Structures are given as structure tokens and as C-alpha cells.
A and B are shown apart, each in its own frame.
Chain A
């Protein structure tokens, strides 16, 4: 039971932390420590034994969004858009790296085929087409 309670608490603190990007690191740590101490004190002083009771403590604290919004307001920072938009950068980075790799591969393949001398692959250095009158 104890570990289940701690799982819920760990997940809650993690969700708050994820929303604190942009807040100075010491304030960020202070808030997480204050929230952890709050929860631990409630658990100990009220002798909470079930997961449901711990969830109730978390609900009274407020949703991670609400708590983080208050932290940003006090710190004078802006909450960053959720991780989805931060993640959306990665497909572009991956695409750029991919294109780069393909280019490097193609150009090295080109060099190799040139070096191999007697080329059967005429079209690479195609002779100028001669216009033939019909």
C-alpha cells in the first residue's frame, strides 16, 4: 500500500515539475520540496493509510496545471506550451539529419562510381546530344 501511495505522489510531483520549465532552478526545487514536505506531513500527521486518502491530499493541492501556473505567475515567467509542441521539433530534426545522410551517401556513391574507372554508366557524363535532321 505504501508503495502505491508513493507512486501516486511521485507521478504528481513529476507532472508539476514538467510544467515548471523556465522557472529559476532554485525556485523550482524549492516548490517541489515544499509540495513533497506538505504531502509527507499530511500522510504522517493524519495517519493516511489508503491511496484514496493520498489522492484527496493531492486534489486539495490542486492540479499540476493550477499549481504550476501559480508558480509561473509568482516567478514572472510564462508557462511553456505542453511537451507536445516541444516534441514536434524532433521530427524536423530527424528529417534534416536523414536528408543530410542521404546526400552524403549519394555523393560518396558518386565518387566511388567515378573512381571505378571504366564506367558503363554513361548517363552520368552524357555526351551532348547531337541534333539530327530527319
Chain B
């Protein structure tokens, strides 16, 4: 039990932030929306609330920018969007990830047959 959640944590670390970047790549998203979508994916987030510190760190490191926008149906929403360096980081991750995944697949034997 502890081992499997430890593995999920380790895999999440270093990849989750790029899932966030990809989610707001084409269109800004607001907190609840981002957090809900990540929460629906199995094994991605330990709790929706754990995404907010991540969003904060990504904003502080200059990958995301945020702004509060009035909402027609409730309190103001905080929208997040990609910055130039966020976009560059996402592009870089995509390249790295493909070769990393291929290497792991080859070594662990999880790749496509052949």
C-alpha cells in the first residue's frame, strides 16, 4: 500500500506540472476547472487542494501568469495562462519525455511488441 502510493508520488513529481502547462496551452483555465480535471485523472493528484501550491510555484517561477476575472455565476475566478517561458518549458518537456519514455519502455519491457 505505502509502496504503491510512494511510486505514484515519485512518478507525479516532475511530470504533473507539465500536465498543468498543457491544460492551459491553448486556452486560459481557472483554478476550479484545472483542479477538477486533474482530480478526475487516476493517480495524478493526491487531492484537488494539492494543485494550488503547485500552481503558485509555477506562477512564481514564471511559467504561468494569473489574473482574477469576474464570473457571471459566482465569485471572481482566478485564471491561469502560459507565459513565454512556460511554453518553452512545455516544448522542451515534450521532446525529453518521448525519449525518456522510449528508454524506460525498452528497459522495463513495457513498449509496443517488437
Interfacial residues, chain A to chain B (CB-CB below 8 A)? 16, 27, 30-31, 34-35, 37-38, 40-45, 60-63, 66-67, 69-71, 73-75
Contact = CB atoms under 8 A, between A and B. Distances in A.
Nearest to A76: B57
Contacts, number: 81
B53 A73 contact: yes
B45 to A, nearest CB: 8
B75 A40 contact: yes
A37 B75 contact: yes
Given A37-B31, A38-B52, A61-B48, 6 more contacts: A27-B53, A34-B78, A42-B32, A45-B74, A67-B49, A75-B57
B50 A62 contact: yes
Interface of B is mostly: helix
Contact of B49 (A45, A66, A75): A66
B87 interface: no
Contacts of A16: 49
Interface in B41-99: 46-50, 52-57, 71, 73-78
Given A34-B31, A66-B47, A40 B53 contact: no
20 contacts: A16-B49, A31-B52, A31-B53, A31-B56, A34-B55, A34-B56, A34-B78, A37-B78, A38-B48, A40-B74, A40-B75, A45-B73, A61-B47, A61-B49, A66-B47, A67-B52, A70-B50, A73-B53, A74-B54, A74-B56
B35 A38 contact: yes
A120 B15 CA distance: 85
Nearest to B76: A37
Interface of B: 30-32, 35, 39, 46-50, 52-57, 71, 73-78
**Top 3 A-B pairs, shortest CB-CB distance:** A62-B47, A44-B74, A61-B49
Specify which of B32, B39, B54, B78 lies most central, judged by the most chain A CB atoms within 10 Å of its CB: B32
Contacts of A41: 30-32, 71, 74-75, 77
A34 to B, nearest CB: 4
A61 B76 CA distance: 19
Contacts of B49: 16, 35, 38, 61-62, 66-67, 70
Contacts of B53: 27, 31, 67, 70-71, 73-75
